[in-house]
Chain A
């Protein structure tokens, strides 16, 4: 774990760069995190990020790709278009949530 400054906030991040404490996240952090992985957020991204935050608050763990897809009605293909390559990880990263466990 290391400490770093993003959008003027001092936050702790894991070895893989995910926020160590989801509570450190705020909406002004998301565009900065997105920029770090080459994304610009539009309304579609925001809809998904808000779902992920709310779902995490209730479930206590990061939603899987399938869960995001079924709960928000977004086809998986579109999740790949919005968060290219690794949508599950990128969504979690921008939303300040733990890396999805990928299931055991």
Chain B
């Protein structure tokens, strides 16, 4: 590093990390700040697309791109896995022995499914009768597996919360219902949704709406089910209080955990998420370490939309922070999620730290065109169109015209 040039180091070039470096490269002077982003590999997946792969609605190629072209000139890209952060020495150690110095650090290494944490998951039927759609490989394997499905008990299961995109398992269930009908298999299939929660979703109002959709579609809900192990031989899920749920085809969402180096560096909670100030993303006890996106412990959904709104707030604050001024912007926990409900329709949830998902229209009061908390075709099309928006506007850091702060205009508290 030359003279007084400072260094911003961003760990993880996923949704949050890519947006942050692209936005900050335009805002920080090149002679004053070097920016480096680290990722373990050079493939960037549009993860929301994984949901559609099992049903053949999206092809694997459509969700995957190489990272480098997505990152603006003037940002150094380092490929290598992070092993440890040394906050005292202001260094990051990579698994291959390289050491990267920093003045300010952003942890954006997300969260990932850990099937190994639940006994019996990684048996001989893993990615076959025990499927998942939270990874690229898993989604493709599930597509092949579903092709052979001829009816029986199809069980969709959440191990523990939080998980990224908490509505994705429900969406999978709705899409499966639709898919089974189109294949003429619905009559021969019992569709079961197993959750550790006491209802369909965490937020009560949305839980009621989504719960009645499950009922309408004849989907059985097994609530308050905390899995202890999967018995692949007997094809049952076994809970800690010794209940059993039988399956012919299981689709499980394994425990989600932050990156291992987070915990190994003493920066994580019991699930490897970095405790941060929920309004500024500054890591507790530090003034030069931030965590953005799924890697932090903020109490809102782990979702790309949250990463997006967070980054907008973070960028403004970060510029103040490095200029030695107080951070004046505050994140409100804003999340908005499309929920695929099958038959070419979707719902839209919009909420923040203080407000339950609302009904109404989005983004324009009364006009919409998107309906909140109600099914519509426009919502479904909005969700499908988002892949294009993601690659072409969101990641490059172009303004989308959606305010980061949640707006109450046109919405009715439910």
Q: Please, how many angstroms separate the alpha-carbon atoms of A103 and B196 in the complex?
A: 11
A104 and B224 form a contact (CB under 8 A): no
Q: How far is the CB of A67 from chain B (nearest CB, A)?
A: 5
Among A61, A85, A104, point to the contact of B300 (Cβ < 8 A): A104
Pair count A-B, CB < 8 A = 44
Chain A residues with CB under 8 Å of B162's CB are 103-104
B166→A86 contact, CB < 8 A:
no
Q: Does A77 belong to the interface (CB within 8 Å)?
A: yes
CA–CA, A9 and B184, complex, Å: 61
Q: Is A66 a contact of B197 with CB atoms below 8 Å?
A: no
Tell me, in angstroms, the Cα distance from A66 to B245 when the chains sit together: 22
* Contact status A103-B202, CB under 8 Å: yes
Contacts of A104 in B (CB 8 A): 161-162, 166, 202-203, 299-301, 335
Within 8 A of B (CB), among A52-104: 61, 64-67, 70-71, 76-77, 80, 84-86, 101-104
From B255, which residue of chain A is reached at the shortest CB distance? Answer: A66
Chain B 353-384 interface 0/1 with A at a Cβ cutoff of 8 Å (1 = within): 00000000000000000000000000000000
Q: Which of B277-301 contact A (CB under 8 A)?
A: 299-301
In the assembled complex, B270 has its CB within 8 A of some CB on chain A: yes
Say whether, besides A67-B270, A84-B241, A102 and B224 are in contact (CB < 8 Å). no
A-side contacts of B320, CB under 8 Å? none
Cα(A85)–Cα(B223), bound, Å: 11
Chain A residues within 8 Å of chain B by Cβ, number: 17
- CB-based contact A80/B202 at 8 Å: no
Q: Do B161 and A103 have beta carbons less than 8 Å apart?
A: yes
Let me know if A102 and B161 touch, CB within 8 A.
yes
Question: Cβ of B231 < 8 Å from any Cβ of A?
Answer: no
Map CB proximity to B onto A36-66 as digits: 1 under 8 Å, 0 otherwise.
0000000000000000000000000100111
Mostly helix, strand, loop or mixed at chain B's interface? loop
Q: How far is the CB of B199 from chain A (nearest CB, A)?
A: 9
- Interface residue ranges of B136-183 to A (CB < 8 Å): 160-162, 166
A77 to B240 alpha-carbon distance, docked (Å)? 6
Residues of B within 8 A of A86 (CB): 198, 224
- Which of A67, A85, A86, A104 gathers the greatest number of chain B CB atoms within 10 Å? A104
Q: From B301, which residue of chain A is reached at the shortest CB distance?
A: A104
Contact check, B202 vs A71: say whether CB atoms are below 8 A apart. Answer: no
* A interface footprint on B251-270 (CB within 8 Å = 1, 0 otherwise): 00000000000000000011
Interface membership of B226, Cβ < 8 A: yes
Residues in chain A near residue B198, CB distance under 8 A: 86, 102
What is the minimal beta-carbon distance from B328 to any residue of chain A, in angstroms? Answer: 23
Q: Known contacts A67-B269, A104-B202, A104-B301; is A80 also within 8 Å of B224 by CB?
A: no
**Residues of B at under 8 Å CB distance from A?**
160-162, 166, 196-198, 202-203, 224, 226, 228, 240-241, 269-271, 299-301, 335
Q: What 18 additional pairs, Cβ within 8 angstroms, besides A77-B240, A104-B202?
A: A65-B226, A66-B271, A70-B270, A71-B270, A76-B228, A80-B226, A101-B202, A101-B299, A102-B197, A103-B166, A103-B299, A104-B161, A104-B162, A104-B166, A104-B203, A104-B299, A104-B301, A104-B335
